[in-house]
Structure 1
Amino acid sequence: MTYQITSDNIDLSESMKELAREKISKIESRFPNLTEDEKQFRVVMNSAPNEKFSIKVEAKLGKKSYYSDETSFTLENALVATVEEIERMVKKDSDYSATWNGKRENKRFKPEEDET
């Protein structure tokens, strides 16, 4: 799994980077079937106007890509909000796929067994 944690206008401490890794690991744990190379996360932490923090997270998981950005008064709140938004996207995507596969199976022709 690849993490890229950067900032354009603030100096990131190790604790900030560790916090980002910790929160993003929640998303990563939902994909145990993907290899380490198929999981890529890019986090950009910036300070925003009015003493706020802006967090942008891009997650590339397999062939799918998810993106979220949030702004909040604390770094942790903004990070939690972005991770929760990506988790909602992943859940919605997986629910849609499961529903679609179920409907697809119901539409398939099922051969009837012979009554001999």
Structure 2
Amino acid sequence: MRLSDIKRILSATVLCGEDHLDREVFSACGSDFMSDVLAFVKNQALLLTGLVNPQVVRTADMVEMKCIIFVRGKIPGRDILALAEERDIVIMTCPKRMYEACGLLYSNGLRGNCDGNE
């Protein structure tokens, strides 16, 4: 699924990386616990989270995610956006809660593989 499709499905707003919406992602993970992302996420491409701090970008970078979507309309600060731009990670925000955002993406064909059993 292309990031442009995800943007449309979630009614999201791109905060940085607009020129990378043609990137394709094959799986996603939703979590507010970066330790869980580090421990369980392998080969993910999209992170949905409500946690807004620079550690989210650092974590996403470590597991080679292409995009972070902040749910519940959260807007990261300029420092977080600058860090994401530096690491070539697309940042979006969407008004939906995490449960709904994950459900919409899943029902539109984007699967998760956080535990490796899927």
User: TM-score, normalised on structure 2?
Assistant: 0.26
- Give the number of the structure whose residues are more often helix, by fraction: 1
Point out the structure with the larger strand share: 1
- Bigger Rg, which one: 1
**Does 1 or 2 have the higher relative contact order (CA < 8 Å, sep 6+)?**
2
